[in-house]
């Protein structure tokens, strides 16, 4: 883990590069065992503007049922670009963000410098490099009123250990907001193989896998997909903001490359959380198809320790 000091961006950047988790992550990426999520987020970071921040805030508001997080703590596990941490800060929360990929950490810090330069790096919005699978780091964390982990836990390499750790970080009465890739049986197995190969391939094979995946995903709109490819690969509408303020191009790369990759049925997620005293408050499914199911659970205020059952 890299602790946050209220230092300069370059001090912080040097600290991220030297962190043991960061070194592990970079080794996994170099060896083709992990997708370079942070590189994709760095590119996406340049597209973030007030419109995307507002859209991200609306997505939080819809799922959490409030736009006012004043005085509440928000833990962003696998913060990626930092977009949702920023949206939570704007809603009044005190935010802690971390990510395993040092590039994601740098991008989140850059976002903080751009959009919230006045934020205190300890009390208002801290950002560090760490893994949710690191028991030492998790043990040191204070529980949060809202634990947010969108599209992350299935990319750790151990979905259920990561879920257990995330559950254990929710304060009594607090909320767990997660999204997990849907289990589609054979189709999920095929995608796992595509992603594994993508990360072990060179640039040309990656382009082919991206193009093939795009054609498959857009099989209902083949003419539009081909036109976009011919124009330089801006898939399915280029960088037009998506519902959470994301971009189609970056989401496609994240989807095809996103590895490690695991999936779960909604029922598996329900029963895992129910065993740990959580109640379902919000559910948005991908209707059995490709993509993530999104859940918000709350932890009973009497639940002292939402640890493993
Ligand atoms: C698909 S991105 C989602 C980013 C962000 N939550 C969002 O909704 O835009 C997954 C992120 O999880 C991070 N990640 C993967 N394994 C992790 C781990 N063990 N601990 C913390 N973050 C992890 C990746 O580096 C990446 O930034």
Q: Are 24 and 124 within one domain? A: yes
Q: Are 211 and 278 within one domain? A: no
Q: Chain-wide mean pLDDT for the chain?
A: 88
Q: Are 133 and 281 within one domain? A: yes
The domain that holds 140 is classified in CATH as 3.40.50.150
Could you tell me if residue 1 is inside a domain?
Answer: no
Angle, alpha carbons 213-214-215 (nearest 5°): 90
Q: Which is higher by pLDDT, 34 or 12?
A: 34
Q: Are 171 and 74 within one domain? A: yes
Q: What are phi and psi of 192, to 5 degrees?
A: -60, -40
Nearby residues of 142 by Cβ (< 8 Å), 6 or more positions away: 73
Report pLDDT for 253.
87
d(CA 80, CA 260) in angstroms, rounded, equals: 15
Angle, alpha carbons 35-248-185 (nearest 5°): 60
From the CB of 28, is ligand 1 less than 6 Å away?
Answer: no
From the CB of 100, is ligand 1 less than 6 Å away?
Answer: yes
d(CA 144, CA 64) in angstroms, rounded, equals: 14
Q: Which of 35, 52, 80, 109 to mutate to test the pocket of ligand 1 (most atoms within 8 A of CB)?
A: 80
- Tens of pLDDT, residue by residue over 63-113, are 999 999 999 999 999 999 999 999 999 999 999 999 999 999 999 999 999
From the CB of 254, is ligand 1 less than 6 Å away?
Answer: yes
Q: Are 161 and 287 within one domain? A: yes
- Tens of pLDDT, residue by residue over 210-245, are 989 988 888 766 676 666 555 544 444 444 456 787
Q: Are 250 and 268 within one domain? A: no
Residue in the block written with tokens 């095809």: 256
Nearest atom in ligand 1 to 156's CA:
16
Q: Are 141 and 227 within one domain? A: no
Q: Which domain holds residue 253?
A: 206-257
Number of domains in the chain: 2
Q: How far is the CA of 79 from the centre of ligand 1 (A)?
A: 6
d(CA 214, CA 285) in angstroms, rounded, equals: 22
pTM as predicted: 0.89
3-state helix, strand, coil in the chain (%, to 5): 45, 15, 35
From the CB of 104, is ligand 1 less than 6 Å away?
Answer: yes
Instruction: Assess whether pLDDT exceeds 70 at residue 38.
Output: yes
For residue 171, the tally of other CB atoms under 10 A from its CB is: 19
Nearest atom in ligand 1 to 258's CA:
1
Give the percent of the chain with pLDDT over 70: 83
């Amino acid at each position: 883990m890299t602790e946050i000091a209220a230092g300069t961006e370059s001090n912080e950047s040097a600290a991220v590069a030297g962190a043991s988790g960061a070194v592990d992550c970079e080794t996994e990426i170099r060896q083709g065992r992990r997708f370079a999520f942070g590189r994709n987020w760095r590119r996406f970071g340049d597209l973030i503007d007030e419109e995307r921040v507002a859209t991200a805030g609306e997505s939080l508001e819809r799922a959490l049922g409030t736009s006012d997080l004043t005085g509440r703590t928000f833990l962003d596990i696998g913060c990626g670009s930092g977009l949702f941490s920023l949206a939570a800060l704007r809603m009044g929360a005190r935010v802690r963000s971390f990510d395993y990929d040092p590039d994601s950490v740098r991008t989140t810090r850059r976002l903080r410098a751009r959009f919230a330069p006045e934020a205190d790096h300890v009390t208002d919005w801290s950002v560090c490099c760490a893994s949710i699978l690191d028991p030492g780091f998790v043990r040191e964390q204070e529980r949060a009123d809202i634990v947010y982990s969108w599209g992350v836990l299935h990319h750790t390499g151990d979905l259920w250990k990561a879920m257990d750790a995330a559950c254990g970080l929710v304060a009594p009465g607090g909320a767990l907001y997660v999204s997990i890739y849907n289990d589609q049986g054979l189709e999920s197995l095929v995608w796992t193989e595509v992603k594994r190969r993508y990360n072990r391939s060179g640039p040309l094979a990656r382009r082919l896998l991206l193009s093939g995946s795009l054609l498959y995903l857009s099989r209902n709109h083949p003419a539009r997909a081909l036109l976009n490819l011919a124009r330089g690969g801006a898939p399915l509408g280029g960088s037009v903001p998506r519902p959470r303020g994301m971009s189609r191009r970056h989401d496609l790369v994240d989807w095809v490359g996103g590895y490690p990759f695991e999936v779960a049925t909604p029922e598996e997620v329900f029963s895992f959380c129910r065993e740990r005293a959580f109640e379902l408050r919000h559910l948005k499914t991908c209707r059995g198809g490709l993509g993530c199911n999104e859940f918000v659970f709350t932890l009973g205020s009497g639940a002292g320790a939402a640890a493993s059952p």
